[in-house]
Amino acid sequence: MRARLFGAVTVVLLVAVALSGARSPATGQAKPAVKKLDFPHITAPPESSAVAFKWMSEELTKRSGGSLNVVFHGATLLTKELEIMDAVKSGNVAIGNPSATTTTPTPCSTAKSGGTWTRRSRRSTS
């Protein structure tokens, strides 16, 4: 679980840096507008993942120098994994973490008769 949380945090940080542009305006140009990023998650603090994502959102806002405003919504904006995935796909929210996506069917969980699926999703007939 810790590795999954670390991976999700890394992805979100990379997306935030990419969205921020990481450029400063030239002399005489206006500062870019603040980008507000709503970040829904299925659980709220004091759940450990929600505490970590809330901290991450605050750090992103602070470290971006004001160019990003990441607002964490723990169990309030969207409360189901599929709702979060659909909202990100449709562009209604910029980032999201549907932390329980292991409930969706994968080749490993949909074994057919006559064989089984191994970890590498190769069918074995033994």
pLDDT, one tens digit per residue, over 36-51 is 999 998 888 898 888 9
| pTM reported for the whole predicted model | 0.55
What is the 3-state secondary structure of the chain? CHHHHHHHHHHHHHHHHHHHCCCCCCCCCCCCCCEEEEEEECCCCCCHHHHHHHHHHHHHHHHCCCCEEEEEEECCCCCCHHHHHHHHHHCCCCCCECCCHHHCCCCCCCCCCCCEECCCCCEECC
What pLDDT, in 10s, does the model give residues 33-89?
889 999 998 888 898 888 999 999 999 999 998 899 999 998 887 878 888 888 889
pLDDT of residue 24: 56
